[in-house]
Structure 1
Amino acid sequence: MRAIVVGAGIGGLAATLSLRRAGCEVTLVEQAPRFTEIGAGIQLAPNATRVLRRLGLLDAVAARSVRPSRLSFRTWSDGGEICHYALGREAEDAFGAPYLQAHRADLHEALAAAVPPGSVRLNSVAVAIDQDDDSATVTTAAGERLEADLVVAADGVRSSARRWLFGPDEALFSGTAAYRALLPAERVADLDLPEYALWLGPGRHFVHYRVRRGELLNVVGVVGTDAARESWTARAEPEEQLRAFEGWDPRVRSLLGRTGTVLRYGIHTRAPLARWNLGRVTLLGDSAHAMVPFHAQGAAQALVDAAVLGDCLADTGPADVPEALDRYVGRRLTAATRVQAGSARAGEDYHLPDGPEADARNARLAAQAAENRFGPHAGAWGTDTFDERAS
């Protein structure tokens, strides 16, 4: 079985590794000329780390990560704790895999290192995907035509493949933008910060947690806004982040004042699709279900996509690829769409104005924590999303 994966982000790399485990010969096509360190913190819930374990990469990623013991929800003005959810050993015992917080580049590096260099075609821009009953073809900007039995399009929130398969369909601005920064953890050691906290306030929220063995603090402030450019590398204006969080708890303000370079980007999503596949071609990850990051499940859902795809292609012949892709989408579409919607609702909930609505939300969060010590978002962490028999 021959497969082509378009896009070498987290989803594309994981798909490549999962398809190789399933016995496929895989060519990975990536438009960038080289792999570079990009991004900041990323959260890997048990559904994500279970996939990493299957791929033989969990130990490598965990060695450069942090295992938080809990998530603390805080009020914006005085930092009072609304509730907390258990993570750490409790989550690992309950879900069979750890909860990790990592630098995105460390995860990407671990995935990329496991892919044989000869399978990767860097600096190759896919400009078309075609197919017939027997094969699928990717055409690159250099005029190459790469043929395989199936094509997996993991080309991100701005997916061209999605448009080629299903027609015009643009990324949607979520109405929120994020300030993000990484700074040495020792720089804020005097601030008495919770290890992992989510501070809720009117029209915005703020998150911080440690990555890279605890050496770095990842900082993300999300604000409601009318427009924002989508870019991982656009710098905020000097002290723009301080103005955005005027009046917040002094610890938040002090932290923001010590961040140095702060990047600002608009958060974009994609509308849910009724299907992700057509014939011998399928979408995976953000190209299929890009979501706001408020349940920290974007990368996790791409990793689970990859694991299920590998399951569905194992022991499948070339003639049966369309049916196998139907099974993959059948197992993943509803679950991923549910997580996508839940994450969007969380963003609305986090930004409620002070007063009765925020008071009711805080009471609800506390009640949910009392009922389920891992919180309602842990519904996506279950063990039934893919078959671990070969793990």
Structure 2
Amino acid sequence: MRAIVVGAGIGGLAATLSLRRAGHEVTLVEQTPRFTEVGAGVQLAPNATRVLRELGLLDAVAARAAHPSRIHFRGWADGADICSYLLGPAVEEEFGAPYLLLHRADLHAVLAAAVPAGSVRLDTRVVGVDQDDDSAYVTTARGERLGADLVVAADGIRSAARQWLFGADRALFSGTAAYRALLPAGEVADLDLPELAVWMGPGRHFVHYWVRRGELLNMVAVVTAAAAPESWTARAEPGEQVREFAGWDPRVLSVLARAGQVLRYGIHTRAALARWNVGRLTLLGDSAHAMVPFLAQGAAQALVDAAVLGDVLTGATPAEVPGALDRYVRRRLATATNAQTGAARAGGEFHLPDGPEARARDARMAAHAAEHRFMPQSAGWTATTDADDARAP
């Protein structure tokens, strides 16, 4: 069977590998002329790293990652721990796969290296998709019409394919913007920072963790905002990020002040869909379920999408594609939509103003951590993932 995957981000690369693993011929179409180092940090929980193991890539990814032993939740003003949870060996023992912290470019590079060069068409912009009873097609900006038995649109939060399939809609501004930067470890060595921490405060939160084997500190400083462009390349004004966090713990301010190039982008999502597929065409990853990053599940959900897609199409004939895509969406839609909702809710919790609500949140978190070794969202990391469930009748 032949497939075309549109978009060579994390989801598109993983889908290509998963479909190839299922025995199918895949052409991966990407509009950029070359792969470049884009993005900053990404967290991969066991639901994601389990997929990497199935693809035979976990060791290569883990070799480039940082391996945190705990995650800390802290107050904004004095940095006192509200609670912390185990990661590290305890997570791997409990959930059967590790929790890893990576530079997004390192994850992308491992996935891209696993795709045969002959299967990738770079510098190829897709300007339309369509289908008939027997085939699906993409039309390129050069006027080519490429056919296959199915088309997987993994073309990101600004997905054109989503609009071609389901009508015009726009990325939705979340009401938050993020400052991002990477700092060499030596520049923050004197600050005694935990390996992974979320600092919560009124209308803001600050996240930092090590990537690239601990060589770099990834920082993300999120603020409530009236508007901000959805751009990975827009730069903050000098000192802007420090002013936004005035009065916070000195360690937070030190990281913000020492950051070199700081990017600022508006965090956008997409509305939840009732379905992702039509006939031989389907969405995957951010094109289907873009979410705010406050539960660190965006990349993970795309990886699990890819695993389930490959699973339902294992052994499928061209005639069976529409039914297989129906099964893919049934097995993924509720989980991905819940992740969207849960991530948005987490952002609200992180940004509570000082007062009774914030104190109640802190008390709930401390009480939960006193009784449980792992974060509440770890229920989604269990050995019975969507990918495993896809093998059930």
Q: TM-score, normalised by structure 2?
A: 0.98
- CA–CA distance in 1 between the matches of 2:60 and 2:75? 36
1:241 paired with 2:241, answer: yes
Equivalent residue for 1:220?
Answer: 220
**Distance of aligned partners of 1:322 and 1:389 in 2 relative to their CA distance in 1, 3 Å threshold:** closer
Give yes or no for contact 1:339–1:380 (8 Å, CA) kept in 2: no
Counting only pairs closer than 5 Å after superposition, residues 289-308 of structure 1 correspond to structure 2 as 289-308=289-308
Corresponding residue for 1:262? 262
Listed one character per residue, the Cα deviations across residues 256-303 of structure 1 (whole Å, up to 9, x for unaligned) are 111111000000000100000000000000000000000000000000
CA distance in 1, matches of 2:31, 2:390: 35
Asked if 1:136 corresponds to 2:110, the answer is no
Contact 2:184–2:216 (Cα < 8 Å) also in 1 = yes
1:388: Cα distance to partner?
A: 9.2
CA offset digits 1:94-118 (Å, max 9, x no partner):
0000000000000000000000001
In structure 1, the residue matched to 2:39 is: 39
CA contact under 8 A between 1:162 and 1:283: conserved in structure 2? yes
Aligned to 2:154: 154
Number of residue pairs matched?
A: 390
- Is contact 2:312-2:390 (8 Å) kept? no
By how many angstroms is 1:382 displaced? 1.8
Residue in structure 2 matched with residue 386 of structure 1 by the alignment: 387
Helix, strand or coil: the match of 1:157? Answer: coil
Contact 1:286 1:302 in 2 (8 A): yes
* Corresponding position of 1:164: 164
Partner of residue 79, structure 2: 79
Q: Whole-Å Cα distance in 1 between the matches of residues 240 and 260 of structure 2?
A: 12
Secondary structure of the 2:206 match is strand
Report the counterpart of residue 271 of structure 2 in structure 1.
Answer: 271
Find the counterpart in structure 2 of residue 53 from structure 1: 53
Deviation at 1:240, TM superposition (A): 0.3
The CA deviation at 1:389 is 11
The alignment status of 1:20 with 2:17, answered yes or no, reads no
CA–CA distance in 1 between the matches of 2:174 and 2:147? 37
Residue type at the aligned position of 1:356:
P
Aligned residue in 1 for 2:210:
210
3-state DSSP of counterpart to 1:147: strand
* Matching residue's letter, 1:29: V
Q: Quick one: which amino acid aligns to residue 196 of structure 1?
A: L
- Which amino acid in 2 is paired with 1:273? L
- 1:387 Cα shift? 2.9
Structure 2 residue aligned with 1:357: 357
Q: Is the 8 A contact 2:331 2:390 kept in 1?
A: no
Q: Distance in 1 between matches of 2:23 and 2:350?
A: 44
- 1:365, CA displacement in angstroms? 1.0
Kept after mapping to 2: 8 A contact 1:47/1:304:
yes
**What is the distance in 2 between the residues matched to 1:332 and 1:372?**
27
Q: Give how far 1:194 is off.
A: 1.3
2: CA distance, partners of 1:160 / 1:380: 30
SS in 1 for 2:108: helix
Which consecutive aligned stretches of 4+ in structure 1 deviate over 4 angstroms post-superposition?
none
Contact 2:312/2:328, CA 8 A, preserved across alignment:
yes
SS of residue in 2 equivalent to 1:387? helix
1:110 maps to 2:76 = no
In 1, Cα distance between the equivalents of 2:243 and 2:163? 39
Amino acid at match of 1:364: R
Q: Deviations over 1:200-246 (max 9, x none)?
A: 00000000000001000000000000000111111100000000100
In 2, distance between residues paired with 1:269 and 1:382?
A: 26
Report the alpha carbon displacement of residue 378 of structure 1 after superposing the two structures with TM: 1.0
Give 1:143 deviation, angstroms: 0.6
SS at structure 1 position matched to 2:308 = helix
Equivalent residue number for residue 192 of structure 2: 192
Retained in 1: the 8 A contact 2:294–2:347? yes
Q: For structure 2, which runs of at least 5 residues remain unmatched after alignment?
A: none
Letter in 2 for 1:140: T
Amino acid at match of 1:152: V
- Take 1:368 and 1:132, find their aligned partners in 2: how far apart are those partners? 53
- SS at 1:213 equivalent: helix
CA distance in 1, matches of 2:280, 2:343: 30
Structure 2 CA distance, aligned partners of 1:162 and 1:255?
39
Query: Alignment identity in percent?
Result: 74
What does residue 346 of structure 1 align with?
Answer: 346
Question: How big is the alpha-carbon RMSD for the aligned residues of Structure 1 and Structure 2?
Answer: 1.1
